[in-house]
Amino acid sequence: MSGTMTRVGLAGAGWVSQHHLDAWSHLRHRPHGRATVVAIADPDVSAARSRAAAYEIPSVYASVEAMLAGEELDAIDIAAPREAHAPICRMAAHHGLAILCQKPLAPTLAEAEALVADVEGLVRLMVHENWRFRPHYRRIHEWLRRGHLGDVRAVTMSILTSGLLPDERKQLPAIVRQPMFRTLERFLLMEVLIHHVDTLRFLLGPFKLRDAVLKKRCPATRGEDRVDLSLTTDAGAPVSVVGDFMAPGYPPDQFDRLEITGTRGMITLELNRLSLRGDIEEELVLDLPANYKASYAGAISHFVDRLSDGGAFETSPEDNLETLRIVEEAYERSRSWL
């Protein structure tokens, strides 16, 4: 696709699609445009039409099947619910399209493994795991790569929010923001903390799950709302990942907290401040909304770049399966806690 405008079809017009479309618009409008979304498909045609009007998308379809039959596409961006990922991927592979698919590839590890086996060698497939593309995580990765911490000794990562506690209007902010949270049987780990597991793998390399506890308290959701994971890196450093969407005293917004201690220093991410302490010291004040948007732009630009140059995807299916294996093992170990 080198030197040509990549024609993309978007599957899904839900909440997350706005962030995909912002990123695609940047690729279309910047000098020497590289990619453009020419069609969007969603069973909720009114939602698809609204997105099409806002982002100047020429064609709207009520189904992915109709979009694939009616358009000449080079690639498809799948931003549909997770249950639709594998069927849409298989349809796109049948049409010979490059695929960018939102995480997770499928609702379970077994379904994801079957999908990867089915499309392997047929088309190029990248998982849209954008969390690790946030600029501050790229900076942390660079600090670690340069050895500023020495050997990693311990890691703690958490996302604590009151988003599933009633606010002053008796509403649950997390549900107001993303209504589909209410219906997910696998909620906090598969939908949110999967990002954190993947990002830690990006930063630290492989690790193993030692213990997992999943709990549910919120009556308005089907799936777990608290997760505690205990892991270890290949070098034996302990890694703790904690998520709680019913944490009193915390804001309803979602903020990552991260502390990595090493033999030569420490990295801390707290709200919008990122700091490196040790032989080399640096402190950054982050624009978190801008970094959130940049994560989509980074992931989608990476997809287009690798289609152009034939290079390997950073978030390849094989890489993403490693994240899914940890997530699946956590559900298996924690079943009795739900």
Per-residue pLDDT at 3: 52
Q: CA-to-CA distance for 331 and 185, rounded, in angstroms?
A: 11
User: What are the strands of the beta sheet with 35-41, ordered from one edge?
Assistant: 59-61, 35-41, 6-11, 75-78, 98-102, 125-128
Domains in the chain (CATH in brackets) are: 6-128 (3.40.50.720), 132-294+323-337 (3.30.360.10)
pLDDT per position as a tens digit, 83-106 = 999 999 999 999 999 999 999 999
Q: Are 162 and 176 in contact (CB under 8 A)?
A: no
Per-residue pLDDT at 53: 98
pTM of the full predicted structure?
Answer: 0.93
Per-residue pLDDT at 4: 78
The amino acid at residue 69 is: A
What residues in the chain have per-residue pLDDT under 70? Answer: 1-3, 30-32, 335-338
Q: Nearest CA to 17 among 29, 28, 25, 27?
A: 25
Per-residue pLDDT at 28: 84
Q: CA-to-CA distance for 307 and 110, rounded, in angstroms?
A: 27
Helix (H, G, I), strand (E, B) or coil at 214: strand
